[in-house]
């Protein structure tokens, strides 16, 4: 009786992966997309055409991406409350906008926020980097930084916090949808877990 030959311990070229045949290591995983790049992409997707800001080291990437975008007008402010007036006027002219600032600047525009967009239902996005929280080095920033969520709540401004890169796109989309569907400003606080904070 004829017996089947024992299976060979050798592998043919068909059994080998392309990587093994090439003798190379697997390609490295692509670098993660920075959080600020995701925010810029969502601004574009949701029709943000004007961004106003007070300079902030934690927002350099986002500000630079917006400045390089020919479809987004970027204006640098001297005080945060100027941005409230500019974005309110821009909305009445048919433009959607976002105000970028540190939490230390929120106190500068409390009256402007309460007296104009909250009173007259003018929507825009507030993107706030917190001071006085994790990684803070300056004790004078702590009181106002910790009070930021309570100040926004006292004004009746819906607020969410960006903490994880995989949630940024969803939260920015939801915040912008809420703002422009309900005609109210909405705030996003960018956690130091994303930005790394400000140590110097």
Which tops the pLDDT comparison, 170 or 10? Answer: 170
Question: Which uninterrupted H or E stretch holds 21?
Answer: helix 18-22
pLDDT tens per residue across span 25-39: 776 767 788 999 999
Tell me the average pLDDT across 99-107: 91
Give residue 94's pLDDT.
97
Give me the residue label for tokens 């640098």. 76
Give residue 29's pLDDT.
65
Enter the pTM of the model: 0.81
Confidence of residue 193 (pLDDT cuts 50, 70, 90): confident
Tell me the average pLDDT across 153-165: 94
pLDDT tens per residue across span 55-92: 988 899 999 999 999 999 999 999 999 999 999 999 99
Tell me the average pLDDT across 172-190: 97
- What percent of the chain clears pLDDT 70, i.e. is strictly above it? 77
pLDDT at 15 over 60: no
Which stretches within 50-196 are classed as H helix?
A: 60-67, 80-92, 110-115, 117-120, 142-155, 165-182, 192-195
């Amino acid at each position: 009786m004829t017996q089947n030959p024992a299976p060979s311990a050798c592998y043919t070229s068909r059994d080998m992966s392309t990587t093994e045949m090439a003798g190379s290591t697997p390609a490295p995983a692509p670098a993660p997309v920075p959080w600020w790049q995701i925010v810029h992409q969502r601004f574009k997707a949701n029709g943000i055409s004007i961004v106003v800001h007070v300079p902030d080291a934690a927002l350099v990437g986002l500000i630079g991406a917006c400045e390089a975008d020919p479809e987004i007008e970027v204006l640098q402010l001297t005080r945060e409350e100027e941005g409230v007036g500019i974005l309110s006027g821009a909305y009445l002219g048919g433009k959607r906008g976002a105000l970028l600032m540190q939490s230390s600047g929120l106190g500068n525009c409390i009256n402007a926020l309460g007296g104009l967009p909250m009173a007259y239902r003018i929507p825009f996005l507030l993107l706030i980097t917190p001071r006085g929280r994790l990684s803070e080095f300056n004790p004078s920033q702590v009181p106002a930084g910790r009070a930021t969520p309570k100040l926004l709540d006292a004004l009746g401004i819906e607020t969410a916090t960006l903490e994880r890169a995989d949630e940024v796109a969803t939260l920015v989309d939801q915040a912008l949808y809420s703002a422009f569907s309900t005609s109210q400003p909405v705030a996003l606080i960018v956690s130091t877990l994303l930005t790394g904070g400000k140590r110097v």
